[in-house]
Structure 1
Amino acid sequence: MILSCERCSKQTAKLTKCNYCSKNDCVSCIRSTKKVHKIKHMAICKNCWGVMRNRRQFKNA
């Protein structure tokens, strides 16, 4: 199933949800991801990376 990125409107098959703005973003719009637990992944998009409060929360997780 082909879906659209909510940030750049690019058509892609795989979208990742940002943990801070809850938008579904494509791989090129996701700034960084990290594995918090064995099965839980966190992602931050390029828009949220510019907000220092969100970036600090992501790095401390």
Structure 2
Amino acid sequence: MDDRALQKTLIEVQKVAIMPGYTYGEEGVGFVRLNAGCPREKLERGVNGLIAALRALA
């Protein structure tokens, strides 16, 4: 799954947003960026959603 497809899936399925690494240049390809600058409860929901989505894709 490419970065764009992963981003779309996470948003649609778990309401979790990521920034694909390619946004930050060639050296970012293959990575994603997560923003942890939010209340802990929201961060925990996001991380749990990310884990659930990745497990479903495996």
Q: Where on the TM-score scale, by shorter chain, does this alignment land: which range?
A: under 0.3
Q: Which structure features the higher share of helix residues?
A: 2
Structure with greater contact order relative to length (CA < 8 Å, sep ≥ 6): 2
TM norm structure 1: 0.25
Question: TM-score, with normalisation over the residues of structure 2?
Answer: 0.26
